Amino acid sequence: MSFFNDSAEVIAFAAQIDLDEVKAQFEKLFIMQRYRDVMHIEMPKGHLFVFDYGVLVTWGVNPAKQEQYLVKLKAIAKEMNPVQIDKYHFLKADKEATQLAIIQDKLVLPNLKVDSLLALSHALAQSVKLQHFESRAEQTISSNQYLTTTLAKTGTSPINRKALAKLRAQFFQTKSDILLQYRSLGAPEFVVNFPAMEQLYLDLSMHVALKARIEFLNRKLQTIQDLYDLFAEEQNYTHFSFLAWTTIILITTIMLLLLFK
C-alpha cells in the first residue's frame, strides 16, 4: 500500500452527497468499493473515503490532487456547508501492535489495511460533522443572548409574540436538521461486526470525545428550547393578565352603566 505523504485530512463540505454520483465521477479512474454510507476510492498513492453526509477523509493523498477531487465532489454535493477541516499525521507502528496510539495530532496505526483506515475514517468523519452541529448550536445561542440579558435587566420580554414564534420556528428547523443527521454519529454497522475494527473506531472516537460532545450538544439544544419556552410562558402570562384586566374593566363598566341607568 503506497501513500504520497503521511497526512490525513478530514473535510466536511456538504449536508449530503449521492454516492452513486460519486461512483459515476471516479469509477473510470480508480478502484472503488462501497460500504453502505461510505465510498472507498483507492488511488495509486493514497486513499479517499467519501461519506454520504458530506465528509471526505483522505489518507496520504497528493494535496494538489486532493483539491481537484474535492472540487468534483462539491459539484455533485447537495446543500453545501461551510468547509471545516481537521488535519492529522499518521504512521505505522514499528513493532507488532494491535491498538491505535495517538501522540498529539499523530495517529500511530497498528496496520495500514483498508479496513483499519475505514474504521478510523468513520470516527474522524463523525467528529468533523459534529463540529458543524456544534457550530450551528453556538450560533443560535449567541444570536439569542440579548434575550436573556434584556430579561434579566428589565424583567420583560424584549420581543413580541410574532417575533418569538419566528425564532422558535427557525430553531425547530435547525434542531430537526441536526436530529435527522444524528444517524451519522452512531457506531457504524461495519465496525460493530468486526471486533478488531470496532476497537480502532472506539479508541479514536474516545480521543475526539464523540460521546461527551454529543451529550453536550444535546444539553445546548435543550437550553435553547428552555429559553424559548421561558419567553413563551412569560408572554402567555402577560397576554392572559391583559385579558383578565380587560374583562374586569368591561364587567365593571357594564355594572356601572346598569347601576346609573
Average pLDDT of the chain is 81
Same domain, 165 and 65: no
Same domain, 107 and 65: yes
Q: Is residue 49 part of a domain?
A: yes
Q: Is residue 125 part of a domain?
A: no
CATH code for the domain of 109: 3.30.310.10
Same domain, 246 and 160: yes
Cβ count near 8 (within 10 Å): 26
**Mean pLDDT across 193-200:** 81
More confident residue, 102 or 141: 102
**Mean pLDDT across 236-240:** 49
Residue-range definition of the domain harbouring residue 73: 7-114
Q: Which of 114, 141, 161 is the last residue of a domain?
A: 114
Q: In the structure, what pLDDT confidence band is assigned to residue 184 with cuts at 50, 70 and 90?
A: low
Cα–chain center distance at 123: 13
Please, are residues 110 and 99 in contact by the beta-carbon 8 Å criterion? Answer: yes
Rg (CA), the chain: 26
Same domain, 93 and 210: no
**Mean pLDDT across 43-70:** 95
Same domain, 137 and 247: yes
**Mean pLDDT across 6-24:** 94
**Mean pLDDT across 113-127:** 93
Q: How far is CA 203 from CA 35, 99, 118, 129, 237, in A?
A: 21, 8, 14, 18, 51
Q: Which of 114, 147, 176 is the last residue of a domain?
A: 114
Quick one: pLDDT at residue 251? 53
Least confident of 114-118, 180-184, 190-194: 180-184
Quick one: pLDDT at residue 239? 45
Q: How far apart are CA 145 and CA 128, in angstroms?
A: 26
Nearest to 72, CA basis, from 126, 112, 116, 17: 17
Q: How far apart are CA 117 and CA 131, in angstroms?
A: 21
pLDDT at 95 over 90: no
Query: How many structural domains is the chain composed of?
Result: 2
Q: Is residue 2 part of a domain?
A: no
**Mean pLDDT across 230-257:** 55
Residue type for position 16: Q
Sign of CA dihedral 118, 56, 38, 31: negative
Q: Is residue 52 part of a domain?
A: yes
Same domain, 146 and 225: yes
Q: Is residue 55 part of a domain?
A: yes
